[in-house]
Amino acid sequence: MRMTMTTMMTMTTTRRRTTTITMTMMMMMMTLMMMITTMTTITMLLVIVTIMLLLLLMTMLLLMMRWRLKSRTRTRATTTTTTTTTTMMMMMMMMMMMMMMMMMMMMMMTMTMTMMMMMMMMI
């Protein structure tokens, strides 16, 4: 980023005031875009991590419940718990898949935007 900034500054100094203004504007846009992309990536990563943690906690709790039920008595309750656990796991998997898809989409969008900006800069 710093390298680009310096290069831009050097380029602008050689030309007129109007060009400098336009270039500065472009630079501002670029910086903003970069900041946005970084922020989005960070936030998405954080969200994913939190979701993973939550899923793990939920699964652990369910397992604990099942173990307790098993230790006490073998009744219909155990079967119901197992079914619930399986369903929960399925739901979790689905959620994870959805999140991953969303992440991919977001990443693609950001990448495309950055590429477009770069192209604009080059021209």
pLDDT, tens digit (0-9, with 9 covering 90-100), for 7-26: 555 555 555 556 666 767 77
Q: Indicate the range of 37-41, 45-49, 86-90 predicted with least confidence.
A: 86-90
CA 9 to chain centre: 33
* Total residues belonging to the chain: 123
What sign does the dihedral 27-11-21-119 (CA atoms) show? Answer: negative
Q: What is the CA radius of gyration of the chain?
A: 26
pLDDT, one tens digit per residue, over 74-113 is 555 555 666 666 776 777 777 777 777 777 777 777 777 7
Entry pTM: 0.35
Q: Which residue type, as a one-letter code, is found at position 113? A: M
Mean pLDDT, the chain, integer: 69
**pLDDT surpasses 60 at 56:** yes
Q: In whole angstroms, give the CA distance from residue 23 to residue 90.
A: 52
Q: Which residue type, as a one-letter code, is found at position 45? A: L
